[in-house]
Every structure is written in structure tokens, then in C-alpha cells.
Amino acid sequence: MSAAVTASPEKQAGGSSLKSWLLLAPLMVFLAAFFLVPLAQVAVMSVTDPEFGFGHYVDIATDGFHLRVLLDTFLTALVVSLCCLLLGFPLAYAMAAAPGGMAAAMMVVVTMSFWTSFLVRTYAWMVLLGNRGPIAQFVQWLGFEAPELLFTRFSSTVAMTHILLPYMVLSLYGVLKRIEPSLPRSAASLGATPLSVIRHVVLPLAAPGIANGLTLVFVLCLGFYVTPILLGSPREQMVAGVIGQQVEEFLAFGEASAMAMVLLASTLVVLGLYHRRFGLDRLWG
């Protein structure tokens, strides 16, 4: 009797966990078929195509070109993350301080660029930065020689900053909005200038959001493909572009796979560092 009584909740718990697995099943099957299996294939290909061995990884580590591409990619991602922080912080700060209606309007403007395809935004930058674009024409009108803006690291950095800025703004807005309004006020009453309030109160309390935004933008930027391909300098490519080129132009699947694995590993390292410090579950807010 007592055994039956104690057994039934266990059975129930077992039943409900079975149910929740069933609910997850379609997604699991989808992920396995379209993500894990291809990923495994890429991993296998990186050490078997055209022949078995770790030759591609040795090449990546030693031939100079690949390391430079990786370094360029990391550098670009770092610059883009910092630009997003510098541009995003004042915006998020203003949004958090603005009254309800104003804050909502600013939020719409920020997320509006989310709703536009980033391919469209990339082409928009091509128009803006092009040789006959408004910026070039303005510079010429001032009497200077038109600078070469398009197909440089500058143009791809600008466009990626623009595309990734909303991620930064949203993660900063989240922490800034949670700062109790009486804290900056009390800091001011205690003698802190507006700059000191930001330095000693707002920034320390916003630190998790800053780390969050930097990580998010950095990781997304590492794998960026279309924008650097369309806008960037062909001489200073990013990893994703090189992988695409190897696949499409040289049919070098093994080499491309090895690069992809290195890119994946670097991304995981960044996320791992974030996880150790803050916990990964907070990354998306």
C-alpha cells in the first residue's frame, strides 16, 4: 500500500518528463538533422579532405595567411564591438532616462533597423559610401579629392557597427533601466558631478550589460559574411569570407572546414569566458 502511494508521484514525474521530451522532440530532430549532422560532417571533412590528417590545421597555424585573416577578423570584431559600445551607451542611457513615450519612440527607431534585412542595409551603405555617393560628393563640393570609402576595412566596420548596434543598445538598455533612479540622484546630492555619477555609479552597475553587449556583438561579428564580402576590402578579408571563397572558388572543402572549425572554436572560447564570469543564460537578457 505504502509502496503504491510513494510510487505514484514518481511515476507522474517520470510521465511529465517524458511528455516534455516529446514536446522537445521535433526541435531535437530538426537540430540533429540540419545542424549537428552537417557540423559533424564539416568536422570530419576538415581532417579527411582530400586525405586523412591534420594538415589543414597545421597550415592554418603556420602559413601566415590564415593567421592574418583570423587576426584581422578578431581585430575587426573588437573594433566593431567597441564602436557599438561607444555609440550605444549614450543612446541607451538617454533611452533609460527618457519619459515613457519618448523612450518607446527611441526604442522603435533602434529596433526599426532590426526589422530591415541587413542585406538591404548593406546595400544602403554601398550607396552612401560609393564613389558617387552623397559623402564623396560632399567632400568634393568642399574642394577636396573624394576619399576612397567603399571596399575598405572602414566601410565594412561602419556597416557592421550599424547592423549590430541594436544588440548593444538593447543589452545596455536592460541594465540601465534597472538602475534605481534614486541612485544617481543620491550620488548627485552627495557631491558627484554628472560625469562622476556615470563613472562611479552607472558604469559599475551597468558592467554586466556592457560585458553582455560586447560579447554578443563580438561573437556575431566573428562570423559575419555578407557585409564584409560586399563592402570590405578584398585584401583584408574576414574568416567567413575566406571560407566562402575556398568553397565556391577553389572547392577546397577540407581547408574551408578546418577554418570553420577554428572559427567555431574561437567563438566557443569567447562564450566560455563570458559564461565563467557571468553565466551564459544571461547573454540574451
Partner 1 sequence: MTKPYLELKNLSKSYDGRSRALDSVNLTAGKGEFITFLGPSGSGKTTTLMLIAGFEAASEGEILVDGVSIGRVPPHKRGIGIVFQNYALFPHRTALQNVMFPLQMRKLPKAQATEKARAMLALVGLEHFAERHPREMSGGQQQRVALARALVFDPALLLLDEPLGALDKNLRENLQIEIKRIQRSLGVTTIFVTHDQSEAMAMSDRIVVFEGGRLQQAGTPLDVYDRPVNDFVARFVGDSNLLPLRLTDPAAGTGEIPGIGPVRLPAQPGRRAGEAATLLLRPEVLGLAAEGAANTCRMQVETVVHFGDSALIIGRAGETPLRARLPGLAAQGIAEDSEIALSWNPTAGHLIPAA
Cα separation, 73 vs 232, in Å, equals 12
Considering the complex, state which of residue 175 and residue 259 has its C-beta at the smaller distance from partner 1.
175
Q: Is 131 in the site for partner 1 (CB under 8 A)?
A: no
Considering the complex, state which of residue 201 and residue 243 has its C-beta at the smaller distance from partner 1.
201
Give CA 245 to chain center in angstroms. Answer: 22
Contact 149, 132 (CB under 8 A): no
Considering the complex, state which of residue 19 and residue 199 has its C-beta at the smaller distance from partner 1.
199
* Residues in Cβ contact with 271 at an 8 Å cutoff, skipping those fewer than 6 apart: 215, 219, 280, 283
Q: What is the C-alpha R_g of the chain?
A: 24
> Residue 194 Cβ, how far from partner 1 at the closest point, in Å?
8
Question: Nearest 10 degrees: CA dihedral of 123, 129, 133, 135?
Answer: 140
> Residue 213 Cβ, how far from partner 1 at the closest point, in Å?
19
Considering the complex, state which of residue 53 and residue 181 has its C-beta at the smaller distance from partner 1.
181
Considering the complex, state which of residue 101 and residue 191 has its C-beta at the smaller distance from partner 1.
191
Contact 163, 217 (CB under 8 A): no
> Residue 95 Cβ, how far from partner 1 at the closest point, in Å?
20
Binding-residue total with partner 1 (CB under 8 A): 18
> Residue 188 Cβ, how far from partner 1 at the closest point, in Å?
4
> Residue 185 Cβ, how far from partner 1 at the closest point, in Å?
6
* Interior angle at CA 227, CA 222 and CA 228, nearest 5: 65
Site for partner 1 in 162-221 (CB under 8 A): 180, 182-183, 185-194, 196, 200-201, 204-205
